[in-house]
């Protein structure tokens, strides 16, 4: 009896050793596969339309790169280049489309010559605020339309931040009437530039790094850029006396990440998800940064640099709004894609306008 028991225990021990060996072999194989997957690394170049490390705009892609590098544990490394380091600021779209680089960070209104409807995904005069715009993108069909427009160029767009409501800009002379806009040379891009042109001004398109010298030299009479946070950094108060706070041309300016579709498709699914999550995080944090920094910067401009703050007269604002309505109708009639996107945008804005009247607008008045 004892011999049989010893024999059974011995057999059981041998079986355990065999099974353990099999388990160890399987685990090793799994570890080998995982190790091999971890060794697959990608290096991307990201070019921007902004000066390197510029507050807000320029730091958005830097934050994106840092988050992607950390979340991927180094499997996807993103190196950021400021405007002019690899390609000029206005050639970001082409560089991504052609595959010269894998990513870009810019503003969609710069590509109006290629895609007439692209400015709608940045800012529309008298249009959506930042929160309304993000709501439209994610829950009103905006993203699907945006991706459809960029697809023929081999680009996948993602929201890349929002600067919030932008100031009316810097002027060398006061604007007291619509007549003061006649012949005014102003740096202002996108549809807002066309609105000003129809009102008698001369819009000029310049990258951020070119603005100060043009304003200081008199090559332009006025400029809009972003708002106090960025305008203080550029030192515009040294070149123009009047700062207009009136919000009209960019009530909620969306930035964009442009991703070469082929490069994105080559990434494993987990890295694709990391890219999208990091872009979404930067989109939210950039708006929060502008909301936090603008007020402090404005205080510095007013108290330390004695900037003269102004607002456009009602007559000027009403004229600009009328020209905007006319322009949007003309753009929709001229391009079917513009018409489709504008219809979606307008319908969503109308619904948000009614809701905001009942909530935020009433709250601000009561507060």
β-pair partners for 80: 46
Residue 25 included in any domain: no
So what's the pLDDT on residue 190?
86
Strands of the chain, DSSP E: 42-48, 76-81, 103-106, 155-162, 169-171, 185-187, 202-204, 222-223, 242-244, 254-260, 308-310
Contact 219, 347 (CB under 8 A): no
So what's the pLDDT on residue 209?
86
So what's the pLDDT on residue 39?
58
Ramachandran quadrant class, 295 (left: phi over 0; alpha: psi -120 to 50; beta: rest): alpha
Distances in whole angstroms, Cα of residue 337 to Cα of each of 182, 192, 246: 32, 19, 31
Percent of the chain with pLDDT over 90: 87
So what's the pLDDT on residue 315?
97
The domain that holds 97 is classified in CATH as 3.40.190.170
pLDDT digits (tens, 9 = 90+) for 87-106: 999 999 999 999 999 999 99
Of the candidates 332, 323, 315, 318, the one whose C-alpha atom is nearest the C-alpha of residue 194 is 323
Residue 160 included in any domain: yes
Residue 231 included in any domain: no
Residue 284 included in any domain: yes
C-alpha count within 13 angstroms, C-beta hemisphere, residue 192: 28
Residues of the chain predicted below pLDDT 50: 1-29, 31-32, 34-35, 37
If one counts the domains in the chain, the total is 1
Residue 118 included in any domain: yes
Joined together, the tokens standing for residue 348 give: 């969503």
pTM listed for this prediction: 0.86
Contact 253, 164 (CB under 8 A): yes
SS3 47: strand
Residue 331 included in any domain: no
Place of tokens 């009102």: 199
So what's the pLDDT on residue 26?
42
So what's the pLDDT on residue 176?
97
User: Alpha-carbon Rg of the chain, whole angstroms?
Assistant: 27
Strands of 212-296, DSSP E: 222-223, 242-244, 254-260
DSSP labels, 202-232: EEE---HHHHHHHHHHTS-SEE--S-HHHHH
SS3 361: helix
Number of Cβ within a 10 Å radius of residue 166: 24
Residue 354 included in any domain: no
Residue 96 included in any domain: yes
So what's the pLDDT on residue 131?
96
The domain in which residue 59 lies consists of 41-164+253-291
Q: Measured on CA atoms in the order 152, 155, 158, 162, is the torsion positive or negative?
A: negative
Joined together, the tokens standing for residue 218 give: 């008199």
């Amino acid at each position: 009896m004892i011999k049989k028991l010893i024999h059974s225990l011995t057999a059981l021990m041998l079986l355990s050793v065999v099974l353990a060996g099999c388990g160890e072999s399987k685990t090793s194989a799994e570890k080998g596969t995982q190790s091999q997957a971890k060794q697959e690394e990608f290096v991307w170049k990201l070019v921007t339309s902004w000066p390197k490390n510029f507050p807000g705009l320029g730091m958005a892609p830097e934050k994106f790169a840092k988050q992607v590098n950390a979340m991927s544990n180094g499997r996807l490394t993103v190196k950021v280049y400021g405007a002019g380091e690899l390609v000029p600021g206005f050639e970001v779209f082409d560089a991504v489309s052609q595959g010269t680089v894998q990513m870009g960070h810019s503003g969609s209104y710069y590509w109006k010559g290629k895609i007439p409807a692209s400015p709608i995904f940045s800012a529309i005069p008298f249009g959506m605020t930042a929160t309304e715009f993000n709501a439209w993108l994610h829950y009103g069909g905006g993203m699907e339309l945006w991706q459809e427009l960029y697809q023929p160029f081999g680009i996948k767009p993602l929201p890349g931040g929002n600067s919030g409501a932008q100031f009316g800009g810097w002027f060398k002379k006061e604007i007291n009437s619509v007549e003061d806009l006649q012949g005014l040379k102003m740096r202002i891009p996108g549809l807002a530039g066309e609105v000003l042109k129809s009102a008698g001004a001369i819009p000029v398109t310049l990258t951020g790094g070119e603005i100060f010298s043009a304003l200081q030299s008199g090559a332009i009479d006025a400029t809009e850029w972003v708002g106090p946070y960025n305008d203080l950094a550029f030192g515009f108060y040294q070149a123009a006396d009047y700062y207009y706070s009136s919000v009209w041309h960019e009530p909620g300016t969306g930035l964009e990440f442009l991703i070469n579709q082929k490069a994105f498709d080559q990434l494993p699914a987990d890295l694709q998800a990391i890219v999208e999550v990091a872009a979404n995080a930067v989109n939210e944090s950039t708006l929060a940064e502008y909301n936090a920094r603008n007020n402090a910067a404005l205080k510095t401009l007013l108290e330390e640099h004695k900037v003269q703050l102004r607002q456009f007269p009602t007559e000027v604002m009403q004229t600009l709004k009328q020209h905007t309505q006319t322009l949007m109708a003309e753009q929709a009639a001229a391009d079917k894609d513009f018409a489709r996107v504008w219809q979606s945008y307008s319908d969503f804005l109308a619904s948000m306008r009614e809701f905001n009247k009942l909530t935020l607008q009433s709250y601000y008045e009561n507060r």
